[in-house]
Amino acid sequence: RGLRNLSNCLKNTDILIINREEAELLSKNKEIKSIFNTISKYTKAIIVITDSFNSIYVYHHGTIYKKQIKKVSIVDTTGAGDAFASGFVYGIIKKKTIETAMHYGHKEALSVLKQIGAKNNLLTKL
């Protein structure tokens, strides 16, 4: 239904984590900077865009951060996005930098990708 219909929810959102396809649909843009510019008009949230095995992007207070994805042998992709989100949110809760939160999320996702199942191999320590 678009950003306008989500605006009340987005006003109360602290961290928005979506994939590239969702971001393009919401913003009606393809380019990452344009996507962030459009979505940020509706929320003050930290906006995170994951892009499968491509870079991770984060928009926070007008700055765009980018993290390259480490290439690993993948066993199963189930739960990798959720694992990334949990690691990222953990970093923010612990008052780490955006870069560190991205690192935590990336580390969690890589760990899950190496095992079969959504919860196998989640890290107990970052």
Question: Using CA atoms, how far apart are residues 121 and 115, in angstroms rounded to an integer?
Answer: 7
Task: Give the confidence band of 78 by pLDDT, cuts at 50, 70, 90.
Answer: confident
pLDDT of residue 119: 55
Predicted confidence at residue 118, as pLDDT, reads 54
Residue 112 binned pLDDT confidence (cut-offs 50, 70, 90): confident
Give the distance, in angstroms, between the CA of residue 8 and the centroid of all CA atoms in the same chain.
21
Please determine, for residue 125, whether its predicted confidence score (pLDDT) is greater than 80: no
Q: What does the mean pLDDT of the chain come to?
A: 89
The C-alpha atoms of residue 86 and residue 2 are separated, in whole angstroms, by: 25
pLDDT tops 90 at residue 89: yes
Q: How much is the pLDDT for 126?
A: 64
| Nearest to 43, CA basis, from 60, 63, 64 | 60
Average pLDDT over residues 69-75: 76
Q: What's the predicted TM-score (pTM) here?
A: 0.87
| Distance, CA of 90 to CA of 34 (rounded, Å) | 28
